[in-house]
Amino acid sequence: MKARTIMIQGTASSVGKSIFVTALCRILKQEGYKVAPFKAQNMALNSFVTPKGGEIGRSQAIQAEAAGIDPSVQMNPVLLKPQADATSQVVVLGQAIKISDAADYYRHNLDLLPAIEESINRLGAEYEIIVIEGAGSPAEINFMDREIANMRIATMASAPVILVGDIDRGGVFASIAGTMHLLPPRQRRLIKGFAINKFRGDISLLKPGLDFLEKRYSRPVLGVIPYIRDMGIAQEDSVYLDELISVKNNGRPYICIIHLPHIANYDDFDPLQALCNVRYVSRPYELGQPDLIILPGTKATINDLIHLDKIGMSDEIRQMAQAGVPIVGICGGYQMLGKKIIDPHHAESHTTETHGLGLLNMETVFEVEKITTQVKARVTGSAGLLEGMDTVQVNAYEIHMGRTKSLSGQPAFLVTQSIISQSPYAEGALSKTGTIFGSYMHGLFANRDFTCTLLDNLCRLRGLPQVKKQWPDKEKAYDDLATVFRENLDIPGLYKIIEEGV
């Protein structure tokens, strides 16, 4: 492997490792390096489909985008997708291979090391620098002998490690010191520096703590990154959804997204946050008076639908639909809109069959084989939310095990290009009024023409003024993120660590 490496590990989950890697990928790209991200094992419900049809964690796709390259399955060879019943779907090199509980997975996970090593070696032969992301904490003493995401990977890749702590949740110095204390000496030696993330306030107040870390461990604190709001970059951990505050104001559409227990691919709706008032809601009383309700993707459609029934959310959504509130379902949310969901092979649940919301005349049957493909499509429905869109083209991707059959009604889209079919095929469903539609396509709202026209139609239906279109600029968001890190991180010190290696 010719590439040099650097690894970002954290004192815990949600400390900002993914954003660190994204920022470093963009900085190194700006410096002219051919750089790629890598995460050996990712546990996430947000996933993405590569151009060749493999499934990887969404964060690695974002990092690849920041690096200016196409994502590949080698960037995330092992993906765990939690689902109901305390199990996870295990995806290896882009393909789902089994459903496993934690005990079974950790009995066999070391068998995945050859695929991980082959992936990083392939990336190392193609790129100049690999920026590696760890998972959780390297100091989980109950998993140290079985882990395949942190120090074992740093050793495999000869990667010096930067340890990142999150100061926003408190105890950052204790978490860094505790991590260093718990690591065995041979692993501790791999850590070459520290960084602190999500800081708010006067940095001079941190000096005693920073001095302590540097003196105690003879390693530099490379920087203190400020808390970044509205960065415009997809977040992997759903923790950040709880931080979204939205109040209906300025005549903008008020959109409620149902925060399902196993919500997946919620970054589908990031483009809407710049244009509308968006709120994630978990209980019926939180809905208020929305202009649009969105049912998002989920890794446990049947169980999440049963949950909605139990808390009264299903009835509330039906009542709002009857009152004319538009409803959109994406992937698992699309399946929920139908009359029935059947899981004969127990692909996602122990429940074999359940009723849907009954808002679209269709049924879904889960199969064993998962569909993963990027697609090009055009809108075919032309009523309500989709009025005037019959020439609009969209780029998106599908990830689902369900096969949905429309019993009557208008498909919403026609897929014109896909690796799973040589012929065009109808996709999604649209109600007669056009106020309810569903689709398997993730990434729909990232298509500017589609989203802007849909919001114009929504405003017309709800009697609101037209939305001022300030479309998110992803390239600018990556550059802005890189600027924040350049201003607050010792970049020469980082390069020195990369050059010196382990």
Q: Is 28 helix (H, G, I), strand (E, B) or coil?
A: helix
Q: Considering 25, 256, 276, 331, which one is annotated as catalytic?
A: 331
Q: Considering 262, 307, 400, 442, which one is annotated as catalytic?
A: 442
331 is catalytic: yes
Number of H helices, E strands in the chain: 15, 27
Q: Quick count: other Cβ atoms within 10 Å of Cβ 230?
A: 9
CB 37 within 8 Å of CB 60? yes
Separation between Cα atoms, residue 426 and residue 431, nearest integer Å:
15
Rounded to 5 degrees, what are φ and ψ at 234? -55, 140
Q: End-to-end CA distance of the chain: give it in Å, rounded.
A: 15
Q: DSSP readout, 322-380?
A: HTT--EEEETHHHHHTSSEEE-TT-SS-S--EEE---SSSEEEEEEEEEEEEEEEEEE-
Q: What are 480's two structure tokens?
A: 């802005």
Nearest to 25 by CA among 138, 154, 127: 127
Q: Is 43 helix (H, G, I), strand (E, B) or coil?
A: strand
453: left (phi over 0), alpha (psi -120 to 50) or beta: alpha
Separation between Cα atoms, residue 19 and residue 16, nearest integer Å:
5
* Burial classification of residue 283, based on how many CB atoms lie within 10 Å of its CB (0-12 exposed, 13-18 middle, 19 or more buried): exposed
Q: DSSP readout, 485-500?
A: HHHHB-HHHHHHHHHH
Rounded to 5 degrees, what are φ and ψ at 107? -75, -25
The sign one gets for the Cα dihedral 390, 391, 396, 402 is positive
256 is catalytic: no
Separation between Cα atoms, residue 204 and residue 222, nearest integer Å:
15
Q: Which residues are known to be catalytic?
A: 331, 442
